[in-house]
Structure 1
Amino acid sequence: MHPLARQTLQAALGTGWADPRRLHREGRTARGLLDQARAVIADGLGVSPAEVGFAPDGPTAVRWGIEGLRYAGRRRGARTVASAVEHSAVLLPGRHEAAQTGNPDDFATVPVDATGRVDLEAWRRSVAVPGTVAVALQHANGEVGTVQPLEEAHEAARAAGVPMAVDAQASLGRVAAPAAYDVLAGDAQSWGGPGGLGVLVVRSGTRWLRPGPADPDHALHGPGGHLPWVPLALAAAEAWQQTEASRAEDARAAFALVESIRAAAGTVGDVDVVGDPVERLPHVVTFSALYADGESLVGEFDRQGFSIGSGSACTASTLEPSHVLAAMGALTHGNVRVTLPVAAVAPEREAWVRDFVTQLAPAVERVRAQIGAPRP
Structure 2
Amino acid sequence: MVYLDAASTEPLHPAARDALLSALDSGWADPARLYGAARRAQMLLEQARADVAEVIGARPDEVAFASSGTQAVHLGVLGTLNGRRRVGDRLVTGAVEHSSVLHAAEEHERGGGTAEVVGVSRTGRVDAEAFARAVSAPGTALACLQTANHEVGTLQPVEEAAAACQEAGVPLLVDAAQSAGRLPLPRGWSVLTASAHKWGGPAGVGVLAVRKGTRWRSPYPQDERERRRVPGFENVPAIVAAAAALRATAEEAAAENARLSALVDRVRTEVPRLVPDVEVVGDPVLRLPHIVTFSCLYVEGEALLTELDRAGFAVSSGSSCTASTLRPSHVLEAMGVLTHGNVRVSLPRGVSEGDVDRFLAALPDIVRRIRASLGVR
RMSD of the TM alignment (CA)? 1.6
Are 1:62 and 2:73 counterparts?
Answer: yes
Q: Which residue is equivalent to 2:21?
A: 10
- For the residue of structure 1 that corresponds to 2:324, the secondary structure is coil
Q: Which residue is equivalent to 2:58?
A: 47
- For the residue of structure 1 that corresponds to 2:325, the secondary structure is coil
- The CA deviation string for residues 338-366 of structure 1, in whole angstroms up to 9 with x for no partner, is 111122xxxx4332112111222222112
Q: Which residue is equivalent to 2:243?
A: 237
Are 1:211 and 2:222 counterparts?
Answer: no
Decide whether the 8 Å contact of 1:120 with 1:153 is kept in 2: yes
Decide whether the 8 Å contact of 2:142 with 2:172 is kept in 1: yes
Q: Which residue is equivalent to 1:186?
A: 194
Q: Matches of 2:117 and 2:368 in 1, distance apart? A: 37
Deviation at 1:109, TM superposition (A): 0.3
- Equivalent pairs counted in the alignment come to 365
Decide whether the 8 Å contact of 2:75 with 2:219 is kept in 1: no
- For the residue of structure 1 that corresponds to 2:314, the secondary structure is coil
Q: Matches of 2:166 and 2:277 in 1, distance apart? A: 43
Paired residue type of 2:146:
Q
Q: Which residue is equivalent to 1:304?
A: 311
Q: Which residue is equivalent to 1:149?
A: 157
- For the residue of structure 1 that corresponds to 2:156, the secondary structure is coil
- For the residue of structure 2 that corresponds to 1:280, the secondary structure is coil
Q: Which residue is equivalent to 2:284?
A: 277
With the length of structure 2 as denominator, give the TM-score of the two structures. Answer: 0.93
Deviation at 1:317, TM superposition (A): 2.2
With the length of structure 1 as denominator, give the TM-score of the two structures. Answer: 0.93
Tell me: CA distance 1:24–1:352, structure 2 relative to 1, closer, same or farther (3 Å). same
- For the residue of structure 2 that corresponds to 1:288, the secondary structure is strand
Q: Matches of 2:276 and 2:55 in 1, distance apart? A: 44
- Of 339, 348, 356 in structure 2, the residue corresponding to residue 353 of structure 1 is 356
Decide whether the 8 Å contact of 2:56 with 2:180 is kept in 1: no
Are 1:329 and 2:349 counterparts?
Answer: no
Q: Which residue is equivalent to 1:98?
A: 109
For residues 74-85 of structure 1, the aligned pairs below 5 Å read 74-85=85-96
Paired residue type of 2:23:
A
Tell me: CA distance 1:313–1:230, structure 2 relative to 1, closer, same or farther (3 Å). closer
Q: Matches of 1:40 and 1:223 in 2, distance apart? A: 19
For residues 310-321 of structure 1, the aligned pairs below 5 Å read 310-312=317-319, 315-321=322-328
Decide whether the 8 Å contact of 2:199 with 2:245 is kept in 1: yes
- Of 123, 130, 142 in structure 2, the residue corresponding to residue 122 of structure 1 is 130
Deviation at 1:214, TM superposition (A): 4.4
- The CA deviation string for residues 237-284 of structure 1, in whole angstroms up to 9 with x for no partner, is 111121111111110001011111111222221110000001000011
- The CA deviation string for residues 313-347 of structure 1, in whole angstroms up to 9 with x for no partner, is 8943222110000000000011011111122xxxx
- For the residue of structure 2 that corresponds to 1:209, the secondary structure is coil
Deviation at 1:160, TM superposition (A): 1.1
Q: Matches of 1:218 and 1:190 in 2, distance apart? A: 22
Percent of aligned pairs sharing the same letter: 50
- Of 141, 146, 168 in structure 2, the residue corresponding to residue 160 of structure 1 is 168
- For the residue of structure 2 that corresponds to 1:246, the secondary structure is helix
Decide whether the 8 Å contact of 1:191 with 1:342 is kept in 2: no
Gaps of 5+ in 1: none
- Of 72, 88, 94 in structure 1, the residue corresponding to residue 99 of structure 2 is 88
Paired residue type of 2:77:
I
Q: Which residue is equivalent to 1:369?
A: 372
Are 1:27 and 2:38 counterparts?
Answer: yes
Q: Matches of 2:169 and 2:103 in 1, distance apart? A: 25
Decide whether the 8 Å contact of 1:84 with 1:110 is kept in 2: yes
Tell me which moved more, 38-47 or 131-140. Answer: 38-47
- The CA deviation string for residues 4-60 of structure 1, in whole angstroms up to 9 with x for no partner, is 211221121111111101111111110011111111111111211101111111111
